[in-house]
Structures are given as structure tokens and as C-alpha cells.
Structure 1
Amino acid sequence: MAVADNAITLAITGASGAPYAMRLLECLLQQQQQVHLLMSSAARVVFATELDWQLPAAPKAMGDALRSRFNVSETQLQVYGKEQWFSPVASGSAAPKRMIICPCSTGTLSAIACGASNTLLERAADVVIKERGQLIVVPREMPLSALHLENMLKLAQLGVTVMPAAPGFYHQPQSIDDLIDFVVARLLDHLNLEQKLQPRWGYGEES
């Protein structure tokens, strides 16, 4: 069976930035993308802290909770555990050609940069790189050490797009949601998906 053109892997790690991940997931599902979701244990802790949402640890229960929240089918949203090695994202013959890690912890960044595949999330990223697909990482850390910068450079040289969660202010945001949408809009732009969250430069009301 061929990989669906609208298939995408979304990975969520333990860096701060759960609201970015939730908004991005919402937008991908609204655009009828087939999402393969990977979430680390640390990400669940961050979700509880930043969104006050205790997601179940078991992949099936987590998938049920997310599908209920977004009112989508299991076909459209699938959730995998960190050791589900027989899932599609683990193999170059079946994995989606697009993957976003949002937010991306510096630990995950390091693991991917050195080719570690200790978890399904790391393996999925390794697959996208070796298959020359589109991998976007969204680091959320400050300040950045030389190690972080070296890992970002290494990934960028492999064709990975590094997009730090750094919202702009020239659109005069009025709320935290506006700042979240700024980052998510840029991610959707890089996926060549239509978005109305933020106008592209030169096409807004100010032009």
C-alpha cells in the first residue's frame, strides 16, 4: 500500500511549548491530514503543566482521548508508543515523507543529530532523513549552548529545517494565541498547506 500524500508524522517532546503542538495538531486535522502522532513521556508531563491536561500513557487510550477532543477517526489520527517498532513510521517503505517535531527538546535534537534510534520518535526522524524527506524541528530552549548550535548546524547540513519557536511582533499580537498562531502559520507555510492564521508578509492589512 502506498504512503498517502496527506500523511505526516507529528512528534511532541518534553520541551516547553505544548500549546504550539496542540494548535498545530488541530490545524493539520482540520486540513484532513493523516497524522501519525508520537509523544514522549516528558511531553505528557509538559502537557499536564502547560495545558492542565493529563493524557493517558497508553497509546490506545491517548489516541482515544485526542480523537474525541478533535472529533476525528482512527484513520485520520493514529498514536504510537515509543517502542512500537512495527508501526509505519519505523520503516522507509511505509513512513510519511514529512515529519515535524514540535516542540523539539535539545535532548531529542542531540539524539537525531548523532543518529540514535533508541525510541520510535528518534527512529522516525532517522527514517525521514535517510529517505530524504522533509523534517522540521522546532527547538524551544534559551540560551543555546555550543552543543545545541552544533547539533542544529549538523541537521541543517543534512537538509533538516530548523525553526525555533520564536514568534514575531510586527503583526501586533493581542494575545498569547496570536503568538502561537504566528509560529504554527510558519510551520504550515513550510508544509505548503493553506493557512489563514497569519497573512504572508506584504499581503496583510498594513500593505
Structure 2
Amino acid sequence: MAEANQRLIVAISGASGAVYGITALRRLRELKIESHLVVSRAAALSLNAETDLTIGDLNALADQVHKVGDIGATIASGSFRTLGMLVAPCSIKTMSEITTGVTSNLISRAADVVLKERRRLVLMVRESPLHLGHLRTMTAVTEMGAIVAPPVPAFYTRPQSLQEMVDQSVARALDLFGLDAPMTRWNGLKGE
């Protein structure tokens, strides 16, 4: 069993962008960080629409897989120590449940535990444009201790593919947990 500083919860919610969660799981394996995966029902539909992976393929990328309805899972308790939790992608519905303390499934329950234990919670929120309710919810969840980190491409890296943009966004999210995934870092502008 991994030490707490070698364990991260990854949730994939129903927003478009399952590739962010997939890439995070792959990076965690490379970094030898134990991953605990939870996939929402809507995410399973998005996975099918957006990728060639099956839910079985996705589950195989994680060290531990937890059913979204399993409120008795290890990650539902603060005594199960982790680095925190990454929700990639994070739907507005999931962010709203987390913000209001609704713990109707394992994703929102695990996030609630991470917040109450003062661990790192990173939400890769996928929605645009945003209305005032979305913005207020982002403010509230930030005030609670979460980090809202939409997957925004870094064009200074001069990405040559969609996967390079995804890789950079995921590496930035993992950076927030102190994990050093390969990425291009800003080195300042080169003067003439």
C-alpha cells in the first residue's frame, strides 16, 4: 500500500474532456503515484463518445477503481490519507454538488472529505460561456479551499497537437499537488 504522499484520487465527471482524466491516470502511473479512480455515469457516456476506450480500458489505467455509488469506499473517509483529489474534467453539476455539500455519490463525497481534511482539491472545470451562477459557484468552492483550474491551453509551448495541449494542462494540474509531470515551463520572453 502506498504512503499518503504517493496516492491521488482522480474523478472523471460527465463534462466533455475525458481525455484529461485519462492523461492524468497515465501520468500518475509514470510518476509511480497510486491512483484511485471514480467515474460518473455521465462520464462513461462521454468516454464512449469522445474516445475509443471502453470503461474497462479506463479502469485498467488506475490502481484502484471505486464505483460512483460506493459511499463506503476508502476514499469516502478522512482517515484514508491522500495527496488530495483531481476532478478531470469537472462538470458544472459536480462542482455545484461539491460547493453545496451534496454528497449523493462518491465523487462529491470524496471531494467533501478532501476539503474537510484541508487537502488539495483541483477542479478542471469544463464549461463555456459561464453565467453568473457558474461564476458564483466557482468563487464559493474557491473560498472553501478548492482550486478551479480550467484546462486552458498554453500557446507559448507552441503545441503541435491536441494531445500536447492536453498534456500541458494535465501537467499544470498535477503541479498543484507538487507532482513533477513532464511539461514545458515558461522561461520568460527572449529579448532582442
TM-score normalized with structure 1 length: 0.85
User: How far does the alpha carbon of each residue in 1:26-60 deviate from its partner, in whole angstroms, 9 at most, with x for none?
Assistant: 001111111110000110111111102232xxxxx
Range moving further from structure 2, 100-109 or 183-192? 183-192
- Counterpart of 1:199? 184
Q: Is contact 1:2–1:94 with CA below 8 Å preserved after alignment?
A: no
Distance in 2, matches of 1:163 and 1:5, equals: 21
Q: Are 2:137 and 1:151 equivalent residues in the alignment?
A: yes
Give the superposed CA RMSD: 2.1
Q: Among the aligned pairs, what percent are the same residue?
A: 37
Report 1:107-118 matches (<5 A).
Answer: 107-118=93-104
Aligned length: 191
Change beyond 3 A, Cα 1:23–1:175: same
- Counterpart of 2:52? 52
Report 1:12-91 matches (<5 A).
Answer: 12-55=12-55, 62=56, 65-66=57-58, 68=60, 70=61, 77-91=63-77
Change beyond 3 A, Cα 1:112–1:126: same
- Counterpart of 1:126? 112
Change beyond 3 A, Cα 1:203–1:67: farther
State the AA in 1 paired with 2:185: R
Distance in 2, matches of 1:97 and 1:123, equals: 16
User: How far does the alpha carbon of each residue in 1:136-189 deviate from its partner, in whole angstroms, 9 at most, with x for none?
Assistant: 000011001111111110011112111001112122111111111120121121
Runs of 4+ in 1 over 6 A off after TM superposition: none
Secondary structure of the corresponding residue to residue 79 of structure 2: coil
Distance in 1, matches of 2:95 and 2:123, equals: 8
Q: Are 2:103 and 1:106 equivalent residues in the alignment?
A: no
Distance in 1, matches of 2:164 and 2:91, equals: 23
- Counterpart of 2:78? 92
- Gap regions ≥5 residues in structure 2: none
Secondary structure of the corresponding residue to residue 103 of structure 1: strand
1:97, CA displacement in angstroms?
Answer: 3.8
TM-score normalized with structure 2 length: 0.92
